[in-house]
Structure 1
Amino acid sequence: MSAEARTPARVQRLDATLANQIAAGEVVERPASILKELLENSLDAQAARITIHLQAGGMDMLSVEDDGTGINPEDLPLALERHATSKVASWEDLQAIQTMGFRGEALPAIASVARVEILSRTHDSGQGARIAVHGGEQIRLEPAARAPGTTVRVADLFYNVPARRKFLRSPAAELSRVQKVLRQIALANFPIAFQLLQNDRSLVQFPAAHDSAACAARVAAVLGEGFMANALHLEQSDRDLSLRGWLGLPTYNRARGDEQYFFVNGRPVRDPVLTHALRAAYQDVLFQDRHPLYVLYLELPPEQVDVNVHPAKAEVRFRDSRAVHDFLFHTLRRIIAGQGGDLPQVTVPIQPKLQAVTASQDFSAAAVRAPLPYAPSIQQPLSSVGEAQTAAYWEQIVATGTTTGAASLTAEAPLEVQEQHHLSPEYPLGQALAQIHARFIVAQNHEGMILVDQHAAHERILYEKMKKACQLDDKQQFAIPEYLHVTASQLARFEVNQEVLKTAGLDISIAGPGTLAIHGALRSLDPRSYAQLVAELLDAEKPWGQGDVEGDPVLAEMACRAAIKTSRRLTLDEMNSLLRQLEATPRFGQCNHGRPTVVQFSLADLDRLFLRGR
């Protein structure tokens, strides 16, 4: 090896333009990221109206015009230098950031990879100024006419870094990303009016929203009217933490999590602490891999959250992440459980032919459309009666069928015709009248007709009882173990999941080759079904998650398998008892998998269905 090869390279200072281009790799990915930075500058300038112009999805040209405070002419060259900002001046400011921007990196980074022109005028100045920078080099600085505010024009993105431009997608794809950024910013800043134009054609317009109705209209414009019809408005606070916004019902969900908006002190973020708390709150009411919809705003003192942890400011770090997580989880779970008020109406489409009227159970965003002229609305009430009012009735009639007298719920028996009792207003699910195909319970309440999925309803009831039993450690030990012969695959699955089953109340051990001994279980289960239940659990193909006590997937699976099945006929007394117990059960609007348990047709819906009054 030659002497020259062994000589280390000398340390040298990077050229300012090269340093800005390196920084641009973190801040400037595409037109959408440029728009985010420019909009944040306009927000910090207290703009009331912001207009965005695009060409080719922002790749050829992107400009942002606002009516904010403007920039002094002498400060324009400085604004395009790295780490020059008017938003923070000390370490104390950095510890309690209250502006959207603060690093002073965005403008110089953008100017290093595009042709940038800034035109600005302050409100107390009679004349504005224009500065042009191409690839990081200042071209001109001159007086110019403009109304108070600032216009930043970014043209020919990555013209001097062609390798970066190749990573951009089509103009339509880049436009879609730009619109997503605009929706995020618009949802976080209701009092500000926004307009987006491409090639001088208006694509999106959000009028300023100064009252609750206008704010709701903006949310509906972003997420659709279907979301607003299937969302709960909430305002909760606890000490220094406050949460407000709109929480989508579990039955209104999507296959992707692309309609989830969470803001911390007005800043859109994607944080693992927040994501985990939200997912846990929906854990046992959301169907399989579906995703909820929400627009939520978390407010807390700025010194309790650090936003200076990500180049794009998309992540935050909380001083007390556990307190934030627990506040979100318990608040949202309580609201989902029904303690936040009655659910609003959910309108779903039905077939217009009278001989094929159905209520769809697909509550995804694609399924909820404008109702037909006589389409019934579906409502899941969250009113409840006390557990004490129904416990005795339940234990005497229905619980006997699910614990010591399972035959009354599982045997085929003709429906009993009984005189209709008075409909008590205490009972929102009303009085059972009949059963359809041994699958659905038909009931009548003061509002109209109710349909109940008997398996899904009983599944939710059992699940909540099992969770409560686990919390209270309400188990029973057998004087004589119950033995179960298992296959090799079942035994292998048991060995892997023995501890998981134990946390779900099942005390099981290996008694010998191919044999398991069941020593104890939850009291809420039918003693005669333990062996069958364990065998079915060990046959299940899908994996179990660990889960916490309030959302244990093993308990959910046990409840599903122990619940009364479809095709089982119930007496009217059993049906009414099921309704009473369901009313006293948290989250009774959905089963453990997120499917609806109850739908209601109002009298007006039924009249429209049969064209009455025309």
Structure 2
Amino acid sequence: MGNEQAPRVHRLNATLANQIAAGEVVERPASILKELLENSLDAEATRITIHLEGGGMDLLSVEDDGVGILAEDLPLALERHATSKVATWEDLQAIQTMGFRGEALPAIASVSRLELLSRARSQNQAVRLQVTGGTAAAPEPAARAPGTTVRVADLFFNVPARRKFLRSPATELSRNQRVLRQIALANFPVAFQLIQNGRSLVQFPTATDAESRAARVAAIMGEGFLANALYIEQEDQGLSLSGWLGLPTYNRARGDEQYFYVNGRPVRDPVVTHALRAAYNDVLFQDRHPLYALYLKLPPGRVDVNVHPAKAEVRFRDGREIHDFLFHTLRRVIAEQGGAQPRVTVPVQPFSQGPTATKSPAYVPTQRSLSAAVQESAGAYWEHLVAPVMTSVPPPDLPAAPTHELAPNYPLGQAIGQIHARFILAQNSEGMILIDQHAAHERILYEKMKNMSQQNEKQVFIIPEYVHVTAAQMAHFGKRQPDLQAAGLDISVAGPGTLAIHAAPKAIAAATYGQIVADLLAEEPAWAEGDGDAVLADMACRAAIKTNHRLSLEEMNSLLRQLEATPRFGQCNHGRPTVVYFSLADLDRLFLRGR
């Protein structure tokens, strides 16, 4: 029989309460490192040194030159909910520090051998406090410059079940490095150093100007990212967004190089994630992920950071406002700048005469943008010739520039030929440009049709275009007629196995719509239900110039001029690059000129 006596309510002892809290705050060495780094930043540190042994499982130490802790406050710092960062409800509503809960240090001390050594700037002597599994020894005087050192040894020595969940030292080291990169990207004025088993692995010097900040970004995210990223600064109604936005063509299979900060705090938030993903919609290839390091600033009262003990989540007071600001800002930046400076290059090898030839090393052209002079002229071209016509549909037939001149006013230069009836070869004063004719025409048609759809512009057929379809195609039409309608296609059932097209976007010749509609209905649609833009993208892909289509020089140049006048022209509707650029220096290096 069960116990008829009801269990008594009792107060947990401090050690057990801290170990329970440790389950939320202390998951692994990397979570400890995050908490200690945040404490150092709140203490106004300018130099932080990290020492690791065994990936942080055997030892994790963080030293800083911050304001330190007063000797009389040192024991109190290891009690739960003891903090110097908030004191009133009003403070909690407008948090401006990284930490504020007062849980990290006692939670860490309860599952490790912790040593806290600190000297306040106003005091002449440091104080050391040692804690073993939550039990503290008496404070003792010590020598140290102003600042704080926290040493965490033998993590989970008294909770062996938790230690079994840790990975190898190499894996834990990698996670620590990830935390350091995340913190270093948001705190440029602070110098960081990471030492593992006595060997310096990472060092980020103080970065106080634009050049040194860019150097830190390149050290963390790679030179390739910096060469393929746009630096942005935008403000609107108390919201500020700055940072580096990767071009759509520079992407990864995983979203592990995405850094987003709210008032300096790294966060993962569904509102932010959705806005960023939507901003890259129809310019990002399939399931690829963009790279970025972005910083959102807003008044502290407009965001709640007291959501989760790990402080990795936030709650915005007005999530819709934040979403729309991020989406419209980033989408505009991608549209206006993301295609205006083709930067994508590909690895190239010198020509080999056959399998018996000696193999030569690969020479990779440097990823770079057009020169400042060409950028300036391209900007003038955009402002005076392109921007005015973008309020309506881009003109379908722009005159081709003379083929014997290299007019710098044209960012994509002049066409000089076609390669395998697939790529257009062009040149400008800076080098050589390759254009995928199908991808380029696809983007042009898509943007034209989107513009027309927004303006509700259609071509109405006096005599409908009739399409004969199978039973399966008719079934697909029945399910997706609203999507086709949203894309500007007015279609009705004209009889058994027959559809009638009454109106369609003007961007494509009327005679081609019959085959396009038949193709759209030939299989289960690839677009999501209710996504009219995806239908337009599918239509543009099917109507665009195909491979093996021969073009005259006049047609090629007309295509280039239309492409320059098209938003997001650097990518097709599926996110593939439309343009690949090689500078003269790239070509010289390819042929070993000057060596």
Q: Distance in 2 between matches of 1:262 and 1:208?
A: 21
Structure 2 counterpart of 1:294: 292
Q: 2:273 aligns with which of 253, 275, 300?
A: 275
Structure 2 counterpart of 1:516: 499
Indicate the SS of the match to 1:591: coil
Matches within 5 A, 1:39-438: 39-339=37-337, 343=341, 345-353=343-351, 375=365, 379=369, 383=379, 384=382, 385-386=385-386, 394-395=395-396, 420=403, 422-438=405-421
Amino acid at match of 1:437: H
**1:528 to 2:526 alignment:** no
**Could you tell me whether the CA contact under 8 Å between 1:192 and 1:209 is conserved in 2?**
yes
What do the CA deviations read for 1:77-131 (whole angstroms, capped 9, x no partner)?
Answer: 2111111100000111111111000010111111111121111111121111111
Structure 1 counterpart of 2:358: none
**Could you tell me whether the CA contact under 8 Å between 2:401 and 2:557 is conserved in 1?**
no
Q: Distance in 1 between matches of 2:588 and 2:364?
A: 8
With 139-148 and 94-103 compared, the bigger mean Cα shift is at 139-148
Change (3 A) 1:498 1:564: same
Shift of 1:489: 3.2
Shift of 1:339: 4.2
Q: 1:596 aligns with which of 577, 580, 586?
A: 577
Change (3 A) 1:7 1:584: same
Q: Distance in 2 between matches of 1:215 and 1:465?
A: 39
Q: 2:540 aligns with which of 555, 559, 563?
A: 559
**Could you tell me whether the CA contact under 8 Å between 2:348 and 2:363 is conserved in 1?**
no
Q: Distance in 1 between matches of 2:107 and 2:239?
A: 35
Q: Distance in 2 between matches of 1:319 and 1:525?
A: 45
With 506-515 and 372-381 compared, the bigger mean Cα shift is at 372-381
Q: Distance in 1 between matches of 2:306 and 2:570?
A: 41
Indicate the SS of the match to 2:434: strand
Shift of 1:419: 7.3
Structure 2 counterpart of 1:497: 480
**Could you tell me whether the CA contact under 8 Å between 2:184 and 2:192 is conserved in 1?**
yes
**Could you tell me whether the CA contact under 8 Å between 2:473 and 2:523 is conserved in 1?**
no
Change (3 A) 1:140 1:494: farther
Amino acid at match of 1:386: V
Structure 2 counterpart of 1:403: none
**1:573 to 2:554 alignment:** yes
**Could you tell me whether the CA contact under 8 Å between 1:397 and 1:574 is conserved in 2?**
no
Shift of 1:373: 5.9
With 178-187 and 373-382 compared, the bigger mean Cα shift is at 373-382
Change (3 A) 1:528 1:397: farther
With 39-48 and 130-139 compared, the bigger mean Cα shift is at 130-139
Q: Distance in 1 between matches of 2:544 and 2:363?
A: 38
Shift of 1:22: 1.4
Amino acid at match of 2:212: A
With 454-463 and 434-443 compared, the bigger mean Cα shift is at 434-443
User: What is the number of residues matched between the two proteins?
Assistant: 578
Q: Distance in 1 between matches of 2:98 and 2:174?
A: 23
Shift of 1:286: 0.9
Change (3 A) 1:500 1:519: same
Change (3 A) 1:301 1:354: farther
**Could you tell me whether the CA contact under 8 Å between 2:473 and 2:521 is conserved in 1?**
yes
Structure 2 counterpart of 1:475: 458
Q: Distance in 1 between matches of 2:55 and 2:144?
A: 26
Amino acid at match of 2:306: N
**1:463 to 2:446 alignment:** yes
Shift of 1:73: 1.7
**Could you tell me whether the CA contact under 8 Å between 1:54 and 1:62 is conserved in 2?**
yes
Change (3 A) 1:392 1:513: closer
TM-score calculated relative to the size of structure 1: 0.88
Indicate the SS of the match to 1:98: coil
Shift of 1:447: 2.4
Q: Distance in 1 between matches of 2:255 and 2:268?
A: 11
Amino acid at match of 2:535: V
Shift of 1:459: 0.3
Structure 2 counterpart of 1:451: 434
Change (3 A) 1:176 1:8: same
Amino acid at match of 1:504: A
What do the CA deviations read for 1:265-297 (whole angstroms, capped 9, x no partner)?
Answer: 111111111111111111111111111111111
**Could you tell me whether the CA contact under 8 Å between 2:389 and 2:395 is conserved in 1?**
no
Amino acid at match of 1:241: L
Indicate the SS of the match to 1:386: helix
**Could you tell me whether the CA contact under 8 Å between 2:342 and 2:369 is conserved in 1?**
yes
Shift of 1:217: 0.9
**Could you tell me whether the CA contact under 8 Å between 1:229 and 1:346 is conserved in 2?**
no
What do the CA deviations read for 1:385-429 (whole angstroms, capped 9, x no partner)?
Answer: 42667999954589xxxxxxxxxxxxxxxxxx9973544443222
Q: Distance in 2 between matches of 1:310 and 1:519?
A: 56
Q: Distance in 2 between matches of 1:466 and 1:397?
A: 18
Structure 1 counterpart of 2:565: 584
With 301-310 and 375-384 compared, the bigger mean Cα shift is at 375-384
Q: Distance in 2 between matches of 1:355 and 1:467?
A: 48
**Could you tell me whether the CA contact under 8 Å between 1:57 and 1:174 is conserved in 2?**
yes
Amino acid at match of 2:439: A
Q: Distance in 1 between matches of 2:13 and 2:367?
A: 66
Change (3 A) 1:276 1:165: same
Amino acid at match of 1:228: L
Change (3 A) 1:456 1:341: closer
Shift of 1:42: 0.5
Change (3 A) 1:131 1:39: same
Change (3 A) 1:283 1:547: farther
Change (3 A) 1:561 1:131: same
Indicate the SS of the match to 1:197: strand
Q: Distance in 2 between matches of 1:473 and 1:605?
A: 46
What do the CA deviations read for 1:293-323 (whole angstroms, capped 9, x no partner)?
Answer: 1111111111111111122111111122222
**Could you tell me whether the CA contact under 8 Å between 2:342 and 2:570 is conserved in 1?**
no
Change (3 A) 1:387 1:208: closer
Indicate the SS of the match to 2:3: helix
Indicate the SS of the match to 2:185: helix
Amino acid at match of 1:432: A
Q: List gaps (5 residues or longer) in structure 2.
A: 355-360
Indicate the SS of the match to 1:195: strand
Q: Distance in 2 between matches of 1:353 and 1:90?
A: 72
Q: 1:507 aligns with which of 472, 475, 490?
A: 490
Q: 1:487 aligns with which of 456, 470, 494?
A: 470
Q: List gaps (5 residues or longer) in structure 1.
A: 357-370, 399-416
Structure 1 counterpart of 2:8: 10
Q: 1:441 aligns with which of 417, 424, 430?
A: 424
Amino acid at match of 2:185: L
Change (3 A) 1:155 1:492: farther
Shift of 1:484: 2.6
What do the CA deviations read for 1:28-82 (whole angstroms, capped 9, x no partner)?
Answer: 1111001000110000011111111111111111111111111112211211111
Q: Distance in 2 between matches of 1:64 and 1:393?
A: 58
For the aligned residue pairs, the C-alpha RMSD in angstroms reads 2.6
